[in-house]
Amino acid sequence: MEQVTKARRTGDVEKSTAKLRMLEFYYDFLDRYFDRSDFELIEMDTDSNYMAISAEKSEDIVKPELQTEFEAKKQVVSLGQVEQSDPWAL
């Protein structure tokens, strides 16, 4: 019985962590780089995010004052230089 309880607790922690990561993605990434008038969240789950944007590509709706930062961080991510401790490096 103890093993089942531990497995359930582990599953609960993983699910909670996944929810937290999705919220961090929304507020720390989407809200930072994109104006809310340029995107609309359709559906979000612990492993997926569906949204509509007002342009052909997401790069086209980056806030003008953050364009340079966005491009620099995008290069770091594409080169695989992201620190493991920084899940939302963009």
Q: What is the pLDDT of residues 19-44, one digit of tens each?
A: 888 888 888 888 999 999 999 999 98
Q: Which of 42, 58, 46 is nearest to 22 (CA)?
A: 46
φ/ψ of 22, rounded to 5, equals -65, -40
pLDDT reported for residue 8: 63
